[in-house]
Amino acid sequence: MQQSAPGRSRAGGAPGGGRSGSAFATAPKKNNTMLFAAIGGGALVLIIAVAGFVMAGKNGKDGTGGKDAETAKKDDAFEKMRKYADDSPSAAFEFAEACEKKNDRETAVQYYLRAVKLDPKYSKAQDKLRWVYTNVKKQEAGSDPAKLDALLDWLKKATLEDEALVLAEAMVKTYAPNSEKAHMLVGDVKVDGKWWTKGEAELAQLTSSKKVENAEYDRLSPREKKVYSLKTDYKTYGNKGEEDREYLDCAPDSPHVLCMEKSTSYNAKLMLEAFKECVVTLYKLFFDKYSALFDVKSFGTNEVCFIYVFESSARYHEISNPTPWAGGHFEPGTGRIYIYKDTSQLYETLFHEGIHQLVHTVSQMKVEKVSERRSVNMFWFTEGIATFFESFKRDDKGGFILGEVSSNYKPYMKKMIADGKHKKLKDLFNINYMQFAMESRNPSKRSYVNDMYAQSWSVVYFLYTHENGKYKDAFNKYFKIEVDKGGSFDGAKEIFGDLDKLNTEYENFYKAMK
């Protein structure tokens, strides 16, 4: 600005030229020729000066030919945006728009993609990319399968999920039916080299597995079919809300199938091995003692005795709802035993409930319809033989010796008989198991339960050991009746004869016991 003033002064042609108009109005006529000469010369200089100013404006305000300051300012701003374009989605978007104004579409798209990478829900950048997809990318891809596959990848980067799904569906149906990317995007599943919708695939897999399953099932033995059905049915019939289960089939050592809740606090597989040792021992003892009465071996080959082991006492009592003091129980309706891992006196409990299960299975489980199975046995026999088996001692080799005097029940019974509080045998032999079960569910009947268990043990122990087994064979005959036809008071009278006489011997046996 300071350099332009001298130029205007020289254009005047003479000092005071800036005020020549007013001077030209009052001058004498004789100077007209000089006046016009002065005006004409001044105008020419003025025109040259203006042209100079215009050229200076084109070449820079300094008149030196440098860049326009405004343009330089814009360039500086653009470079600054480029510098920070990777810092945030908004910065990337602003730089992309700046590139678009410069007609640099390739860089603009690159930074719109950068914006949605930093924030997949950045809608302003998505809108820009959606326009690019609709107006540019689709036309470029056409119906070329390879280009359409690449376009799916681009849409994924652009976070345009709806557009990608629509394109994938069109590819599967028309343009690229063999595109793995398109099939996977629409949720199709490949089965045996062929693409299926999810529903079609599930049906195909089910049909395929069913064929294999049926073929494998047909090859199973009768017992294996029972085990298979038990595991399959248990998912709906017997599920106890546990996360996972471990199974152990004890065959051929015993007919038992063990099932235990898995937990991070113990190894279910190892725990079941300990339970297997117990039930296999029980079965061997049962087989040795009663194989002469019925075909125990055939029974062990064809039948299944299921035992479910709960993780804890709390879960056992919560789910199974047994009597409050139970450490385990046998369920006649299903033929199953429920017990918990840390039950006290594991062998005693499993021997007791296991005998219930074995006797019931021998006599009832061969009847296929549950509704036709007898759930009534005589109480004294059912609990008597169970308590007899739970009373054992170990020999020096770790084996089991059955038929020992119970340290719990013996003093209990001696006192009951001495006090006259026991039931006479003709009364005890009249009580079936269902009657006892109804009474025992009442928590106030705990003493009744203890009395009945003790007396049932005392009767079986007496029949097996009195006068060197005087009634042992009679008891085994009655055992056969229980298994084949079901126990009854009349059956007891038929086998044991005069029940009053038997009762006298029974009472004297315990009165004399030391």
Please give the Cα distance from 419 to 455 (Å, whole number).
14
Please report the sign of the dihedral spanned by the C-alpha atoms of residue 190, residue 195, residue 200, residue 204: negative
For residue 497, what pLDDT is reported? 94
For residue 105, what pLDDT is reported? 92
pLDDT-wise least confident of 161-170, 278-287, 388-397: 388-397
Contact 116, 159 (CB under 8 A): yes
State yes or no: pLDDT of 265 exceeds 60. Answer: yes
State yes or no: pLDDT of 376 exceeds 80. Answer: no
For residue 35, what pLDDT is reported? 39
For residue 403, what pLDDT is reported? 74
pLDDT-wise least confident of 161-170, 316-325, 371-380: 371-380
Residue 263 is given by DSSP the state B
Nearest to 458 by CA among 487, 428, 437: 428
Average of pLDDT values for 213-221?
A: 73
**More confident position, 82 or 294:** 82
Kindly indicate the confidence band of residue 205, based on its pLDDT and cuts at 50, 70 and 90. Answer: low
For residue 96, what pLDDT is reported? 94
Kindly indicate the confidence band of residue 476, based on its pLDDT and cuts at 50, 70 and 90. Answer: very high
State yes or no: pLDDT of 41 exceeds 90. Answer: no
**Chain Cα centroid distance, residue 41:** 102
Kindly indicate the confidence band of residue 512, based on its pLDDT and cuts at 50, 70 and 90. Answer: very high
State yes or no: pLDDT of 225 exceeds 90. Answer: no
Q: How many residues does the chain have?
A: 514
State yes or no: pLDDT of 128 exceeds 90. Answer: yes
pLDDT-wise least confident of 182-186, 298-302, 366-370: 366-370
Residue 172 is given by DSSP the state I
Neighbouring CB atoms inside 10 A of 382's CB total: 23
Contact 113, 89 (CB under 8 A): no
Contact 119, 89 (CB under 8 A): yes
For residue 245, what pLDDT is reported? 83
**pLDDT averaged over every residue in the chain:** 80
Percent of the chain with pLDDT over 90: 39
For residue 194, what pLDDT is reported? 80
Label residue 140 exposed, middle or buried (CB < 10 Å: 0-12, 13-18, 19+): exposed
Contact 287, 297 (CB under 8 A): yes
Average of pLDDT values for 357-385?
A: 73
State yes or no: pLDDT of 104 exceeds 90. Answer: yes
Give the range with max mean pLDDT: 219-233, 397-411, 499-513: 499-513
Contact 152, 185 (CB under 8 A): yes
Distances (CA, A) of 153 to 127, 159, 205: 18, 10, 30
Give the count of alpha carbons within 13 A of 175, CB side only. 20
Please give the Cα distance from 162 to 165 (Å, whole number).
5
Give the range with max mean pLDDT: 176-185, 241-250, 460-469: 460-469
For residue 114, what pLDDT is reported? 95
State yes or no: pLDDT of 56 exceeds 70. Answer: no
For residue 28, what pLDDT is reported? 42
Give the count of alpha carbons within 13 A of 454, CB side only. 21
Neighbouring CB atoms inside 10 A of 370's CB total: 12
Distances (CA, A) of 322 to 328, 381, 436, 437, 499: 8, 22, 14, 11, 34
State yes or no: pLDDT of 4 exceeds 80. Answer: no
State yes or no: pLDDT of 436 exceeds 80. Answer: yes
Please report the sign of the dihedral spanned by the C-alpha atoms of residue 476, residue 287, residue 346, residue 327: negative
Average of pLDDT values for 125-145?
A: 94
For residue 425, what pLDDT is reported? 97
| The two three-digit tokens of residue 121, written as one number | 């829900």
Distances (CA, A) of 8 to 14, 19, 358: 11, 13, 128
Kindly indicate the confidence band of residue 228, based on its pLDDT and cuts at 50, 70 and 90. Answer: confident
Give the SS3 label for residue 255: coil
**More confident position, 446 or 260:** 260
For residue 76, what pLDDT is reported? 85
Nearest to 362 by CA among 303, 307, 308: 303
The string over 209-241, giving b where at least 16 C-beta atoms fall within 10 Å of a residue's C-beta and e elsewhere, is: eeeeeeeeeeeeeebeebbeebbeebeeebebe
| The two three-digit tokens of residue 20, written as one number | 């020549």
State yes or no: pLDDT of 211 exceeds 70. Answer: no
**More confident position, 330 or 55:** 330
For residue 375, what pLDDT is reported? 53
pLDDT-wise least confident of 102-111, 201-210, 444-453: 201-210
Give the count of alpha carbons within 13 A of 440, CB side only. 20
Average of pLDDT values for 382-402?
A: 84
Average of pLDDT values for 115-136?
A: 94
Phi, psi of 62 (to 5 degrees): -90, -5
**More confident position, 482 or 88:** 88
Kindly indicate the confidence band of residue 32, based on its pLDDT and cuts at 50, 70 and 90. Answer: very low
For residue 59, what pLDDT is reported? 47
Kindly indicate the confidence band of residue 77, based on its pLDDT and cuts at 50, 70 and 90. Answer: confident
